[in-house]
Amino acid sequence: MSFPGAVKIVEVGPRDGLQNEAISVPVEVKIELIDKLTEAGLAVVESGSFVSPKWVPQMAASGEVYRGIHKKPGVAYPVLVPNMQGLDAALEAGVEEIAIFAAASETFTQKNINCSIDESIERYRQVVEKALTENLKIRGYISCVLGCPYEGEVSFDSVADVAVRLLDQGCYEVSLGDTTGVGTPGKARALVEQLVDTVPVSQLAAHFHDTYGQGLANLHAVLQCGIAVIDSSVAGLGGCPYARGATGNVATEDVLYMLDGMQIETGVDMDKLLEAGAYISDFLGREPASKAALALQNRQ
């Protein structure tokens, strides 16, 4: 059984985590959260989303948030960009990395952005071309890789097709999203084992939600396949506005506790990560949805 010696954790709490919160989170709170996450040693902190505030009100001030972050050299602060208008706003804010998203499910794509998978990827062509001319890094997300809330089973071939097309367009990495958290370890591993026949494992990341309590087990399974990039959300924040019942991503504290126990390097300091999780949880008026955070806090 082989595991990577080091894993890069991509912190998605300030975007994917907060976007589904009912309580409006002020700009200054988001900035403080991102700064605390940076101080914890996270090398990638997703900072916002340049989407229409009509659809995702929580992300309305992403430009202001991005400009206010105390940016640390060597740390990436990517933002989600859905279209040319979003890209222009991101460029105006001075971003250096963007993320684009597609889905492996036709129905989810229609419900999310009112078009087919083919149309969604084609829409990004102009966005990607301009982003590359501006020397931006581009990351791709694929939703519903282990199941769809509308279609149920999703073909691994569909996931592979979308992954290849995103990479061919210019994405340096593709994050595999189990959007509703329905995946199990065997299925997660089978997906990655099939994908690596066409996509280098070094260009794949795991983005698993913990709806059914399978997040860590699924990550453990794909780590054995060579996955060395994990998306997670501090305090287990979040969900998906287009997938009813989906809970947050697997909690960053839980991921870090597992990786530390496996002696896999991350560069992340648990105590400072706990501070960041406690900060946003206190603001939201609830305890973290991280078992490791709760256990470690109670032990102190």
> Which residues belong to the active site?
240
What is the token pair recorded at 242?
A: 């287009």
Q: Which helix (H) or strand (E) holds 15?
A: none
Give the pairing type, strands 229-232 and 48-49: unpaired
Cβ contact 14:277 at 8 Å:
no
CA 38/CA 69 separation, integer angstroms: 10
Cross-sheet strand order for the sheet of 44-45: 44-45, 8-11, 229-232, 204-208, 173-178, 137-143, 97-103, 79-80, 48-49
CA 273/CA 297 separation, integer angstroms: 12
Question: Exposure of 3 by Cβ count < 10 A (0-12 exposed, 13-18 middle, 19+ buried)?
Answer: middle
